[in-house]
């Protein structure tokens, strides 16, 4: 059963499907299964044989308009058509109206601050997704870099029924956790005004953050920030794949005494309810 308001599917739109398959197989351990249609190339990323996401070419029309490789999350809803109508009335944008697809009945939308995500009902591939978000290879966290999280939170509450969970308050920022169906599944905060547009970032679970960092580098990816330490001994790493799509990793750490890395492109705010000091200079 797909719970209304919970992320249930993830899709990578890229400029090189073969390279993306090899990269995520090396870094996260995913397999890829062909699920193409006669006129549409598509693959399924799987973890322990369970489908968790899709892989497709970034459409040429989108490239001409300046779109770049990216991950997009799908949120399960009870009724795609009703939810899409409410999004429009609440100030969001509808990029792809409700339509039947190889994933299910979907719509591609953006919140009022232009962070993109998708809606789905009747998910065709991901219904074996385990309830335990901490399993290796799964997507364990969802993070919104908002223009103003306090303004946009009401929007997500209206559309998906999300509720505020714990929050961490720093000197000037708040990292607000949110829950769906009583389970905390992500966090959001207000990014710096000088940073890129609002967007969602997805965290993939790995067994060892340092070994995973080595794999990212060896496979041609980039490190944007980290490793950063969180409570309960969890570490995170924000990265890009070789085609430029942003993603993040989270896991335990085996090495001691390794310094924290930073990039000026990011806010200096970690995940899962903990703020960290921004770099000076």
Please state the domain count of the chain.
Answer: 2
Same domain? For 72 and 100 the reply is yes
Give the other-Cβ count within 10 Å of 66's Cβ.
6
Could you write out the DSSP letters of every residue in 132-161?
Answer: -TTSTTSEEEEEEEES-HHHHHHHHHHHH-
Domain annotation covers residue 109: yes
Torsion of CA 115, 121, 126, 128, to 10 degrees: 130
How much is the pTM?
A: 0.89
Same domain, 60 and 86: yes
Closest-CA residue to 123 (of 104, 107, 109, 138): 104
Asked whether residue 129 is domain-assigned, the answer is no
Q: How far lies 33's CA from each of 53, 71, 139, in Å?
A: 11, 18, 18
222 domain-assigned: yes
In 3D space, the residue among 127, 129, 105, 128 whose CA is nearest the CA of residue 118 turns out to be: 105
Residue 234: phi, psi to the nearest 5?
-95, 140
Q: Looking at the domain assignment, is residue 274 inside a domain? A: no
Residue 168 is predicted with a pLDDT of 62
Residue 13 near residue 58, CB atoms below 8 Å = yes
Instruction: Tell me if 281 is assigned to some domain.
Output: no
* CB 255 within 8 Å of CB 247: no
CATH number, domain containing residue 183: 3.10.180.10
Based on the domain organization, do 86 and 54 belong to the same domain? yes
Q: How far is residue 214's CA from residue 210's CA, in Å, rounded to a whole number?
A: 6
Residues 99 and 164 in one domain: no
Give the end of a domain, one of 87, 121, 155.
121
Question: Where a domain ends, among 72, 93, 121?
Answer: 121
Same structural domain, 18 and 114: yes
Taking only the tens place, the pLDDT of each residue in 80-111 is: 999 999 999 999 999 999 999 999 999 999 99
pLDDT in tens, 142-166: 999 999 999 999 999 999 999 998 7
Q: What DSSP designation does 98 have? A: E
Q: Are 209 and 236 in contact (CB under 8 A)?
A: yes
Can you tell me the distance from the alpha carbon of 265 to that of 65, in angstroms, rounded to the nearest whole number?
23
Domain that holds residue 145: 139-251
* Run means of pLDDT, 10 residues per run, the chain, 281 residues: 83 96 97 90 91 91 86 95 96 95 94 96 71 85 94 96 78 80 91 83 96 97 92 90 96 66 38 36 27
Residue 260: predicted pLDDT? 43
User: Nearest 5°: phi and psi at 151?
Assistant: -70, -40
- Asked if 215 and 178 sit in the same domain, the reply is yes
DSSP 48: T
């Amino acid at each position: 059963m797909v719970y209304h308001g919970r992320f249930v599917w993830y899709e990578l739109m890229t400029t090189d499907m073969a390279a993306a398959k090899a990269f995520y197989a090396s870094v996260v351990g995913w397999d890829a299964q062909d699920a193409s249609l006669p006129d549409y190339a598509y693959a399924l990323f799987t973890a322990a044989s369970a489908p968790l996401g899709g892989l497709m070419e970034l459409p040429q029309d989108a490239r001409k308009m300046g779109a770049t490789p990216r991950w997009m999350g799908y949120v399960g809803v009870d009724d795609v058509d009703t939810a899409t109508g409410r999004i429009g009335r609440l100030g969001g944008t509808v990029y792809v109206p409700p339509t039947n697809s190889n994933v299910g009945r979907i719509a591609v939308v953006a919140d009022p601050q232009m962070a993109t995500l998708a809606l789905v009902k009747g998910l065709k591939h991901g219904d074996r997704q385990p309830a335990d978000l901490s399993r290796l290879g799964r997507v364990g966290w969802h993070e919104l870099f908002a223009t103003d999280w306090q303004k946009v939170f009401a929007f997500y509450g209206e559309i998906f029924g999300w509720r505020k969970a714990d929050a961490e308050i720093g000197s000037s920022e708040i990292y607000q956790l949110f829950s769906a169906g009583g389970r905390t599944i992500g966090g959001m905060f207000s990014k710096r005004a000088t940073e890129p547009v609002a967007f969602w970032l997805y965290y993939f679970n790995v067994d060892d953050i340092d070994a995973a960092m080595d794999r990212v580098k060896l496979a041609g990816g980039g490190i944007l920030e980290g490793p950063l330490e969180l409570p309960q001994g969890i570490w995170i790493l924000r990265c890009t794949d070789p085609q430029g799509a942003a993603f993040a990793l989270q896991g335990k750490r085996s090495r001691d005494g390794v310094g924290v890395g930073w990039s000026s492109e990011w806010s200096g705010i970690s995940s899962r309810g903990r703020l960290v000091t921004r770099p000076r200079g």
